[in-house]
Amino acid sequence: MNQKLTTSDHSRDIAGLKYVYPVLSRRAGGLSVGINFNTNNACNWRCIYCQVPDLVRGAAPEMNFQLLEWELRFFLQQVLMGDFYDQFNVPEQQRIIKDIAISGNGEPTSLKQFDKAMALIGQIATEMGVLPESHFVLITNGSLMHKSVVEEGLKILDHFQGEVWFKLDSATESGKMKINDSKQTDEKTLENLKLSSALCNTSLQTCIVDFLAAKEAVFEQKKYVELLAEIKRRQIKIQKIMLYTIARPSLQPEAKQINKVDENIMEQYANQLRSLEYKVKISL
Ligand code: SF4
């Protein structure tokens, strides 16, 4: 019996591979070819809305480059010339590779040979005619931008006309602690963002959740907009800001305490950002 791949099914092992997984992306409107470097479910942050099962603190394990190459070639072949779309009953209008997304069960830039992995993926996807037609996206919390392998990886991503989606959920140190369980300072966030945008096109992805007390949430919104004004003042180039809220249940202990935010709040954020002349996209 054929399986159905839906926009709500984000299981990373649906294709039975270790590193490569398909997602019918609600945000992208087609097939996203995901690549998971963090097969050990390890991340240096612990966001309260994180959907990684059995998330642990840590870095990505050693990469088996031979296997990554084999899987990516095999999977793209199945999609481009095989029966992948029929096998998973993908609707006709969604039979398009929208992007190759480096996004997995943890922070991908924690991979030791991050630059080598980016080069290999870019080269295979180009050889097979997927790039530059489809997008090449790195989804990251941005905290390791200062590492030289990450800088190199970003230069490679830029060479393949790719884009960084940089996580920025809070503009305060207490907010980052409560939402991302991260001790990163505000100044470090700005430094990392500056580094990223100097090396490669960079967009911000901001998850807004209903978690904080009302007064604190208002303060967070104010500080977030102020930080985006500061980013403009420092001439850090941001392509767009993607605002979203939780679409699927968190797998963290805080799951029961967090909710989607109201559409009006998302619009309030968006309008304030647009008045600073940012391009803003909302996903509900
Ligand atoms: S940065 Fe991403 S993978 Fe890491 S804890 Fe946050 S949501 Fe999960």
Query: What is the three-state SS of 92-135?
Result: HHHCCEEEEEECECECHHHCCCHHHHHHHHHHHHHHCCCCCCCE
- What separation in Å is there between the alpha carbon of 82 and the centre of ligand 1? 33
Please give the number of the atom of ligand 1 that sits closest to the Cα of 46.
5
Q: Which of 43, 110, 140, 181 to mutate to test the pocket of ligand 1 (most atoms within 8 A of CB)?
A: 43
Residues with Cβ < 8 Å from 206, sequence gap 6 or more? Answer: 167, 168, 169, 224, 241, 242, 243, 244, 269
Give the pTM.
Answer: 0.94
Instruction: Select the CATH number that applies to the domain covering 20-283 from these four: 2.40.110.10, 3.30.43.10, 3.40.50.720, 3.20.20.70.
Output: 3.20.20.70
Q: Which of 51, 52, 137, 183 to mutate to test the pocket of ligand 1 (most atoms within 8 A of CB)?
A: 52
Output the pLDDT for position 1: 39
What string of pLDDT tens digits covers the 284 residues of the chain? 346 565 555 556 666 899 999 998 766 679 999 999 999 999 999 999 999 999 999 999 999 999 999 999 999 999 999 999 998 888 888 999 999 999 989 999 999 999 999 999 999 999 999 999 999 999 999 999 999 999 999 999 999 999 999 999 999 999 999 999 999 999 999 999 999 999 999 999 999 998 878 888 899 999 999 999 999 999 999 999 999 999 888 999 999 999 999 999 999 999 999 999 999 999 87
Which is nearest to 125 in space by CA: 156, 150, 94? 156
Q: What residue ranges do the domains of the chain occupy?
A: 20-283
Strands 209-210 and 30-35, by their bridges, are unpaired
